[in-house]
């Protein structure tokens, strides 16, 4: 499901803003973008998110600054400074200005700007002192994200109920129509055979006709498929009411919906039944598409 969440924390030494968004995905992926100094807690961030979000692609954006300078030191590469200084003298010599001297202050400013002369080096970073602050912002963002996803989930739940009811209604039509198919077949078969035999002044034997009808009834019987599909609908309703992630269960169950619908269509041998099955399959497909969006 789609969603967005934001969390913030700020004090005198540490500030962080966390934004996360989710989009539909069959599996569970987490992509985290964060400052380098927070790399030690990346795994904690991922695990915290996965406790609340079980499906979808999750993009996490973290902006943070750590203002504690106690463990920061500035290093000057003296050898590199001397090399730059000597290089300046060589430049002067190359243009015939061996005795030319730069103003000392100007040279210092110039050398300080040369690459890699001055470097800021971070000392030990206390992850444990920062993590509770980061976690506070993270849980705030997750809470906002989950709230938005729950709103979308409620809408999808209502759609599932409606589609399941429609499938059940159409299945009732199939169940009512199924015995009539056999009766109509018996009438058509009897009329056709009698018409053919009348030309030769013969009459069909009732036992033989009943035998053919029985074979047809057995071959086209969809009772088992109707019972199983009813059971699947009942199970579907129970699953969507469960207080846990159900996406993968429904993904499997909807395949069983399709299997029974296809079998009914292949056995039906009746135009009306075939049309109703097409309508059922259309509702199943709408459910299948929505299942990809839920946990």
List the structure tokens of 99.
Answer: 């005795």
State how far the Cα of 250 lies from the Cα of 160, in Å rounded to an integer.
11
Residue with tokens 């018409």: 195
pLDDT at 142: 93
Q: How many angstroms separate the Cα of 22 from the Cα of each of 119, 222, 244, 245?
A: 39, 43, 19, 16
Q: Are 27 and 55 in contact (CB under 8 A)?
A: yes
**CATH for the stretch 3-68+126-148:** 3.30.230
pLDDT for 188 equals 65
Q: Where are the domains of the chain?
A: 3-68+126-148, 72-122, 152-291
Q: What is the DSSP letter of 201?
A: T
> pLDDT tens across 103-124, in order?
677 788 888 888 888 775 555 5
Positions in the chain whose pLDDT score sits under 70? 1, 26, 67-73, 98-103, 120-125, 181-221, 293, 295
pLDDT value at residue 268: 75
pLDDT of residue 22: 87
Distance of CA 27 to the CA centre of its chain: 5
Map tokens 């030494």 to a residue.
Answer: 13
- For residue 1, the model assigns a pLDDT of 65
Query: Can you state the percent helix, strand and coil of the chain, rounding each to 5?
Result: 65, 15, 20
Give the global pTM. 0.57
CB-based contacts of 290, cutoff 8 Å, min separation 6:
156, 159, 160
- Of 230, 223, 293, nearest in space to 264 by CA: 223
Q: Are 171 and 187 in contact (CB under 8 A)?
A: no
* Beta strands at 56-66 and 28-33: parallel, antiparallel or unpaired: parallel
What is the distance between the alpha carbons of residues 1 and 22, in angstroms, rounded to a whole number? 7
Tens of pLDDT, residue by residue over 149-199, are 888 888 888 888 999 999 999 989 888 887 776 666 566 656 565 665 556
Q: Which residues contact 41 (CB under 8 A, 6 or more apart)?
A: 127, 130, 131, 134
Q: Can you give the pLDDT at residue 122? A: 56
- pLDDT value of residue 44: 92
Backbone angles phi, psi at 117, to 5 degrees: -75, -45
């Amino acid at each position: 499901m789609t969603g967005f969440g934001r969390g913030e924390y700020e004090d005198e030494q540490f500030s962080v803003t966390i934004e996360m968004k989710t989009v539909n995905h069959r599996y569970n992926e987490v992509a985290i973008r964060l400052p380098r100094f927070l790399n030690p807690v990346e795994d904690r961030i991922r695990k915290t998110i996965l406790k609340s979000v079980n499906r979808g692609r999750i993009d996490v954006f973290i902006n943070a600054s750590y203002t504690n300078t106690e463990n920061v030191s500035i290093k000057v590469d003296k050898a590199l400074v001397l090399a730059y200084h000597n290089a300046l003298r060589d430049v002067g010599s190359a243009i015939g200005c061996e005795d030319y001297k730069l103003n000392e202050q100007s040279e210092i400013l110039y050398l300080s700007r040369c690459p890699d002369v001055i470097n800021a080096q971070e000392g030990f970073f206390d992850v444990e002192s920062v993590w509770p602050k980061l976690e506070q912002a993270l849980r705030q963002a997750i809470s906002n994200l989950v709230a938005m996803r729950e709103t979308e989930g409620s809408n999808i739940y209502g759609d599932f109920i409606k589609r399941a009811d429609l499938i059940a209604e159409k299945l009732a039509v199939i169940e009512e129509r199924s015995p009539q198919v056999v009766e109509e077949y018996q009438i058509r078969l009897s009329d056709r055979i009698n018409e053919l035999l009348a030309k030769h002044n013969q009459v069909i034997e009732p036992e033989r006709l009943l035998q053919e009808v029985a074979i047809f009834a057995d071959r086209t019987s969809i009772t088992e498929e109707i019972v199983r599909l009813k059971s699947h609908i009942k199970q579907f309703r129970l699953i969507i009411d469960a207080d846990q992630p159900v996406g993968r269960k429904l993904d499997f169950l909807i395949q069983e919906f399709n299997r029974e619908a296809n079998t009914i269509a292949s056995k039906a041998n009746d135009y009306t039944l075939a049309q109703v099955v097409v309508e059922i399959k259309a509702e199943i497909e709408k459910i299948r598409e929505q299942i990809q969006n839920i946990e």
